[in-house]
Amino acid sequence: MMLILRYALATFLLLLLWWAGSAAMGPDLLPDPWATAAAFITALGDPDFIRHGVISLWRLVAGVGVAALVAFPLGLWLGHSRRADWLGAPVVFITFPLPKIVLLPVFFMLVGLGDASRLLLIGLTTGYQILVIVRDAALSLNPVYEQAYRSMGGKGWGLLRHVWLPAALPALMTSLKVAAGTAVAVLFLAESFATDSGLGWLIMDAWGMGDALRMFTGILGMSVLGLFLYGSVGVLERIFCRWQEA
C-alpha cells in the first residue's frame, strides 16, 4: 500500500509540474497533461500510430536483447579470467567513453539504412553498459563462494552454472534497467534519420509541422515503451533473483 502511495504522489507531482509549465508557456508550446493523455488514448485507436509503436518496440527489445546476449557472457569472461581481462579491460575502458551515437552514419554506410544499423547502434551503446557492470560484479565476487563449491567436489562448467551465473544475475538486471533508459534515448536519435517509421520519426515529423500535441503524443508513447521495458526487467528480476528477497 505504501509503495502505491509513493508512486501516486510522484505521479501527481510530475503532472502538477507539467501542468504549471503548460500554463506558463501556453498549449502551443507545451500541451497540458490532460490534453496529451486524451490525444494519446485516441492515438491508441489509430492503426498508423500502433504501427510506429510496434516498430519502435521491436527495435528496442531486439537491440537490448542482442546486447545482453553478447555483453553478459563477455563480462563474465573478463571478470573471471585474468588473462582475458589483462587486455580486454584496457580495450573496453579506452572505447567506453566514445559516444556511440556518432557512429550512426558509419553504420548506415556499412550495413545500410535499414533496421540493422539502428539495432547495431542500440546494441553497442547498451552493450557497453551491461559489459562494464557485469564485469565489475564478477570481479567483486567473494572467492569464498568458489572455494566452498570446490570443497564440495564441484568443478568445470558447474562452477559457471552454480556460482558465477547466479552471482552475476543481479548485476545483469541492474545493467538492463540502466540500459532501458539509454536505449530509448538512442532509439529516438536512430529513428530521426533515414527512416519513415517509428515513434522517433513521428515525433520529428510532428515537430517539423509545428503540431505540438501530436509531438507530445509521440513523446508519451516513447515514454510508455521505456516504462514497459524497465518494468519487464523488474519482473524478470523477481523471477530469476528471488533468492535476493530471502
Q: Position 166: which residue type?
A: P
Please tell me whether the overall predicted TM-score, pTM, comes out greater than 0.85 for this model: yes
Q: What is the pLDDT of residue 245?
A: 60
Mean pLDDT of the 45-73 span: 94
Q: What angle do CA 135, 136, 142 make, to 5 degrees?
A: 105
Which pLDDT score, from 0 to 100, does residue 154 have?
A: 67
Fold exhibited by the domain 51-245: MetI-like fold (1.10.3720)
The answer, yes or no, to whether residue 63 has pLDDT greater than 90, is: yes
- Hunting for cell 540502466 — which residue is that? 178
| pLDDT tens-digit readout, 114-144 | 889 999 999 999 999 999 999 999 988 877 7
Q: What is the mean pLDDT of the chain?
A: 88
pLDDT of residue 246 exceeding 70: no
Per-residue b or e along 140-168, where b marks 16 or more CB atoms closer than 10 Å to that residue's CB: ebeeeebeebeeeeeeeeebeeebbeebb
